[in-house]
Structure 1
Amino acid sequence: MEYEFIHDAITGNAKAQFSLEHQIIGPWLETEIGDNTEKLTELLTALEQVSSGKTQELLITGREYSVILSQDDIQVQVNALLNGECQLPEELQSDELQFDALDSSACGIEDFRSILLSWAKFTKG
């Protein structure tokens, strides 16, 4: 998984850019975590509960995005997917169009933990 953290030249805010198949993780980090240490700690604690087997699966719902933590992987998705409101018009549904890649993304537990720790270091640096 390729990603890069940068500071916006105008606002100075931390930005996260990910490769296409994981690109939703960037806006999720910016919107739901930002530089909020408390949210980051809460997420790392939940991640530890799942990876240690104390909990099978956890859903953390944010304002715009949600994270599903399971022992197999982590999925980040747009909240509209959770309530079934994110249906494309039939004329836009095509094998060539990859809208799903923009609505959700999954990665391994260790990759996700590494992303969170790198983001924390970047936003505090």
Structure 2
Amino acid sequence: MTLYLLSLHQPRGELPPDPDFLAGVMRQLGELRAELVSTGSWVFGQGLHGPETATVLRARDGDVLVTDGPFVEGKEYLGGITIIDVPDLDAALDVGRRYALATTLPIEVRPFQAGAGD
């Protein structure tokens, strides 16, 4: 099995979705999560607050500079993550497709590097 990160990217500046649409998205995501849990593929997932809540820490000359706001400005921001444990990239892409269909958001699928002892 391999760990994959599914990153959900949200567009900046758009109004919140219609409550009925959002309820449908949440229902579909709940069903998908329940399925992943039942197959042992679910590791972790959670939405994130908006980029305006971010704090960036940068090491400089032996000190750490603390700044408010996101690391980068962009048209989209990281809105949430899900970590899954599946056999291969094809399985991860299948889950990613289902997230994209449920949320209508771009989903980035990336494998984790193998750690020590893996």
Higher strand proportion (structure 1 or 2) = 2
Give me the TM-score of the superposition, normalised by structure 1.
0.22
Give me the TM-score of the superposition, normalised by structure 2.
0.23
